[in-house]
Copies of this chain bind each other. A is one copy, B any other.
Amino acid sequence: MLSQTEENYLKVLYNLISFRGEASVNEISKQLDIKMPTVNSMMKRLSEKGLVLYESYKPLKLTNEGKKIAALIIRKHRLTEMYLVEKMGFGWEKVHEIAEQIEHIQSEAFFAKMDELLGYPKVDPHGSPIPDINGVLRSETYIPLKDFNVGDKVVFMAVLHSSEDLLSYLNTKKLELGMIIAIIATESFEESITIQYDNNKVETLTSKVSSKLLVKLIK
């Protein structure tokens, strides 16, 4: 059984690897706000346990077992977020901190019950896919809104790296998952994008925002 600390390292490692293909001691250090030497020794420990592939000065990788364990932690996190939003009435911007703690609860039955009560959801409240009970993640790949052009119509599918601030901002704009968005202008110098959605609401978004809204094109 892994400690909560070990679980957190695995999770961050998994997320870094799935985004960038690889992970470094330095990146983990920044993500977790833990100094590099500490991360280094933890990577060696997790390597001893057969969860991480560690070689000096090389990028870090997860073993298959490491990947599976990490995915199951992420499953618990995302199921919890969904439960908090759907069954307890929390706003999507409030649930991350709580799920960050509940993801470490050791109880198959607890998470199985959540899953059942939610009707076996495939995505969390931010549109991120929920790995299945075997740690397998089936995800469509969406594209950031900023990469589209005037005239395109897209569906808002997920929020990337969703922070409370960003989610609250989207709340104020009433911009919600599943909405259809039409790109009506782009401004290449300041990299802003102007969109129309939900019965003619119009907003101009900075690239900071539009790079984090994942969408799919309507053919």
Q: Which residues of A are interface residues toward B (Cβ below 8 A)?
A: 84, 87-90, 94, 97-98, 101-102, 105-107, 109-110, 113-114, 117
Contact = CB atoms under 8 A, between A and B. Distances in A.
Contacts of A109: 90, 94, 98
A97 B107 contact: yes
Q: Is the interface of A mostly helix, strand, loop or mixed?
A: helix
Contacts of A114: 88
Contacts of A105: 98, 101-102
Nearest to A83: B88
A87 B89 contact: no
B97 A113 contact: no
A113 B101 contact: no
Copies per complex? Answer: 2
Contact of A117 (B88, B113, B117): B88
Nearest to A102: B105
A54 to B, nearest CB: 29
A-B pairs with lowest CB-CB distance, top 6: A101-B105, A98-B107, A98-B110, A88-B113, A102-B105, A88-B117
Contacts of A84: 110
A112 to B, nearest CB: 11
A94 to B, nearest CB: 7
Nearest to A94: B109
Nearest to A101: B105
A106 B101 contact: yes
Contacts of A106: 101
Contact of A102 (B102, B113, B117): B102
Contacts of A102: 102, 105
A97 B109 CA distance: 11
Nearest to A105: B101
Contacts of A89: 113, 117
A101 B90 CA distance: 21
A87 B87 contact: yes
